[in-house]
Structure 1
Amino acid sequence: MSELLPALPTGYRARPASAEDLGAVHRLVAACEHELYGRPQTDAGGVAADFARPGLVPASDTLLVHDPDGRLAAHAWVNRRSKVDVHPGHRGRGLGAALLDWAEARARQADGGQIVQTVPDGDTAAVALLRSRGYQPMVTEWLLEFGLAEGAAPAVPEPPEGITVRPFRPGGTAAERDARAAHRLVQDAFDEWQPRRMDYEEWARHTVERPAFAPAMSVLAFAGDQLVGAAIALDLPDTGEGYLEQVAVRRDHRNRGIARLLLRHAFRTFQQRGRRSGTLWTHSNTGALDLYLRVGMTVRHSSTVHRKGLGAARPSV
């Protein structure tokens, strides 16, 4: 790893991340989000799930940059995708460019044919940096929200004929059965656009094993005893929001109003729990934006997934 360490401004030091650093990385990400959006969006469980990606080796695939006083100034990881965050108080010093160089070098070393990064459209400096390095836009992502007025519960439509809904069961063997059925449903539904299927363990780290997972706020739809739809919710009290990590409907039950039913059930539960809004991310490959707009959601902000093709790894000397 040492030959890949980037050149940094005087006084800054780089090292790989460890499990003990996750809290500091989360605080850094939250500071970046607060600067850009006026509020944090990522919970600690989301950061932990990123650092537990299959195949990611912290010693070679992560990097933390500390300032002369030992405070975390920036971080990056690379594992098929890449993420770079620089604390607002340390921008304009070349840290982002240095970590971008490191991420590309590490991706080449790992024989990656490309590198992918998602950057908020409002972060114009980061977008300009990526474009100057030859990254091209690939996919647009949108964060959508549904405002929840106090005391005004969202209307929930009647279920389609033969469809029943209930929340996730809260624990034990029954909860695991719900989770494994939801995993199969989501992976089958997302096969149309996601680049690879997640095994259960990876999927669970992003959903049902996160500390913020809210089984009582998550909704399952059944046709008889067959799971045909799921809306998996996270409770993010620090943001005052309920968040839908995933929404999926089995292909042979689409266009029946099941997605709208799941969304409205989740939003009503969010409102009953005192949340100010319900949010979710979607992107242009899913074709779901119009659905979310029709149920009354609006776009809060957008991001773009950028991709760059990489040449063969340089021989070591």
Structure 2
Amino acid sequence: MTDAPALPSGLTTRPLTAADSRAVFELMAACEQHDVGSVEIEEADILSDWQRPSHDVTTSSVAVLDGDRMAGYAELVGPTRFDAAVLPSYRGRGIGTWLAAWARDLGRARGERELGMAVPEGSDGDRLLAALGYRVRWTSWVLRLGPGEQVAERPLPPGYRLRTATEDDHEQVYTVLEDAFLEWSDRPRASIGDVAAGVWGRPGFEPWHLQVVTTGGGDGGDGGGGTGERVVGVAVAWNTGEGGEVDTYVDRLAVAGDHRNRGLAQALLVAAFAAGRERGAVTSSLATDSRTGALSLYEKVGMKPMSTWLNRAVTLD
């Protein structure tokens, strides 16, 4: 492997398999708790990534093991993007540097022009990647509404309807999401199968997780879309946590370009957060980054940044 130190004696490596999802979740959760003071990741996030038709976890990953214990891992999860983590108790031994070199080698072999990942600002991972020459591509924030806080309601303009999505809406949901995210994301267009894996195909999916704003057409009689109805706004959300710490997380929020500045996004946020509260959530959260320019909009509706992440990248030559 290029420009990488040897792993400490006694550690072994192997590719990940689907059976490793729980171990990877526990590793990432331990890292998040240590680095930002809370756990945002869910095992379903990992499983939905791994079930994308375009992804093969075994040929795209490596685990670093101390006996049966997973001390670290890395994975190429998409164009120009990798994830990696090292248990806090194993840091400072060169494992992170080895994993970063492994990811660069695989990225080069696959023809990537650059490779990067998100790290909590000021964390061990942030300092390591900075020392290895990774620049900041963009900044991300996790924002939250505290217990009892709500986004002010915004009535929909005439001609729009907000409802739970049906299976008949999936193709339009896919189009709205990809069109919106590709306005600022420099990547190839994802297939509908890859998008489905993280939305209606995500483990544990329930109908309320996917809400849409539509225009045109009439009511089909069952609460779904009528003839000629067009999906112009999408919110993807679910509840995380348990007990008295359940949070509604909005994973994706998008409005078609020709229907913006009409309050549709705010109406979708209100509906998603309300649906989560009805099912036991006490807080609400989402993430945004500097490419979207949406931070100030979320702050204006009362959301407060809870953690800051830097997406650091390096050019592969």
1:46 alignment counterpart: 45
| Residues 245, 11 of structure 1: alpha-carbon distance in 2 compared, 3 angstrom cutoff | same
Q: Are residue 207 (structure 1) and residue 207 (structure 2) matched?
A: no
The one-letter amino acid of 1:75's match is Y
Checking the alignment, whether the CA contact within 8 Å between 1:5 and 1:14 is kept in structure 2 is no
The one-letter amino acid of 2:97's match is A
**Which of 287, 294, 312 matches 1:306?**
312
2:163 alignment counterpart: 166
- State the TM-score, normalizing by the size of structure 1: 0.88
Deviation of 1:221 (Å): 0.8
Give 3-state SS (helix, strand or coil) of 2:127's partner.
helix
**Which of 198, 211, 230 matches 2:190?**
198
List per-residue Cα deviations over 1:242-269 (Å, max 9, x = no partner). Answer: 1111101111110011111111121222
Matched residues in 2 for 1:113 and 1:147: separation? 41
List per-residue Cα deviations over 1:284-316 (Å, max 9, x = no partner). Answer: 1112112211111111111111111111xxxxx
List per-residue Cα deviations over 1:93-151 (Å, max 9, x = no partner). Answer: 2111111111112212222221111111141x2112111211111111111112232xx
Cα RMSD over matched residues?
A: 2.2
| Residues 211, 56 of structure 1: alpha-carbon distance in 2 compared, 3 angstrom cutoff | closer
1:258 alignment counterpart: 264
List per-residue Cα deviations over 1:26-59 (Å, max 9, x = no partner). Answer: 1111111122233321111211233345654434
1:75 alignment counterpart: 73
Count of aligned pairs between the two proteins: 300
2:19 alignment counterpart: 20
Deviation of 1:60 (Å): 3.5
Q: Are residue 121 (structure 1) and residue 121 (structure 2) matched?
A: yes
Deviation of 1:167 (Å): 1.9
Checking the alignment, whether the CA contact within 8 Å between 1:112 and 1:310 is kept in structure 2 is yes
Give 3-state SS (helix, strand or coil) of 2:16's partner.
coil
Matched residues in 2 for 1:285 and 1:212: separation? 30
| Residues 255, 61 of structure 1: alpha-carbon distance in 2 compared, 3 angstrom cutoff | same
Give 3-state SS (helix, strand or coil) of 1:270's partner.
helix
Checking the alignment, whether the CA contact within 8 Å between 1:148 and 1:154 is kept in structure 2 is no
Matched residues in 2 for 1:57 and 1:230: separation? 28
The one-letter amino acid of 1:202's match is D
Q: Sequence identity of aligned pairs in percent?
A: 33
Matched residues in 2 for 1:162 and 1:32: separation? 47
- State the TM-score, normalizing by the size of structure 2: 0.88
The one-letter amino acid of 2:21's match is L
Structural mapping, 1:270-281, within 5 Å: 270-281=276-287
